[in-house]
Amino acid sequence: MADNLLLQVWINQTPHQLPAPATLADAVARIGIHPPFAAAVNLNFVPKSRYALHQLSDGDHIELIAPITGG
């Protein structure tokens, strides 16, 4: 894949473009979310230790989910 190509991905139901190749760590950086949170790509949980290794594909759906506190 050429460096000048863009991937279209969905992060929390919002479209984003990332330079290809891109990893889950790149998507997390794009959003700027701070821990704690969990991540899933195409409904599959990805452990934090794999964010930089998990290659994204065009059309991937990424969910970044932070815990909600309250009561």
Range of the domain at 14: 6-65
- Does residue 71 form part of some domain? no
- Does residue 1 form part of some domain? no
- Does residue 44 form part of some domain? yes
Peptide bond into 15 cis (omega under 30): no
Is residue 48 within 8 Å of residue 37, measured between CB atoms?
Answer: no
Strands (DSSP E) found in the chain: 6-11, 14-19, 38-41, 44-46, 61-65
Q: Which tens digits make up the pLDDT trace of 6-65?
A: 999 999 999 999 999 999 999 999 999 999 999 999 999 999 999 999 999 999 999 999
pTM: predicted TM-score of the whole model, two decimal places: 0.88
* 13 half-sphere exposure, CB direction, 13 A CA radius: 1
- Does residue 70 form part of some domain? no
Shortest CA distance to 9 belongs to which of 21, 27, 25, 35? 27
CATH for 12: 3.10.20.30
- Does residue 14 form part of some domain? yes
- Does residue 54 form part of some domain? yes
